[in-house]
Amino acid sequence: MDGSDMIPLVAIGLVRTTDREVHGDLLLRLGTYRHTCDSYYLAIDDSPAAGATIEEDLARLLDQWVQQLRQLTPAGVVFLPFDFSDQCTAWLRVECPDVDRAVVQAGWSSLEGYSIMPSTFTEAATPEDFAPITNATIACRLSDLITTLEHSRDAVRHGD
């Protein structure tokens, strides 16, 4: 098994569904919740950390998610952006109620997408006005969440 046919441990993922455009080409899965968004802000990211392709930028974004999750401690919270739009952004709020568990909730913020470089989002402000999306929550083991996102990142890097 090379990883591309692996069943995800957690029902989460951010994938590129088409390579023809930079609008409506990304899909976030979170449990049964689905959200289509654009890779446009990945494509125009001009920070030194940005990649040469949208796939490299998406892998970089997922890698930052993994890094943030690895640093998450009990009672801690991290915010992981997935939709960058002109007038708002969408985020995953990940809470760690104890050593082993994570609760992942999708939501919106009025923080503008153009104020954040996806390749260095950890340097940006976190959303202070996070508004949860109804029925867009999962609970899982933190280690399973990290492993699933590592597989997702690696699949993007290898074109799977």
Which domains, from first to last, does the chain contain?
12-157 (2.30.31)
Two structure tokens written together for 134: 């109804």
pLDDT at position 62, please? 97
Do the Cβ atoms of 37 and 82 come closer than 8 Å?
yes
CA 7 to chain centre: 19
In sequence order, what are the residues at sequence separation of 6 or more whose Cβ sits closer than 8 angstroms to the Cβ of residue 23? 38, 40
Q: Where do runs of H (alpha helix) occur along the chain? A: 40-43, 54-70, 142-157
pLDDT in tens, 62-73: 999 999 999 999
Two structure tokens written together for 9: 């441990």
Q: How many CB atoms lie within 10 A of CB 50?
A: 18
In this prediction, residue 6 has a pLDDT band, given cuts at 50, 70 and 90, of: low
In this prediction, residue 7 has a pLDDT band, given cuts at 50, 70 and 90, of: low
* pTM for this predicted structure: 0.92
pLDDT in tens, 143-159: 999 999 999 999 999 88
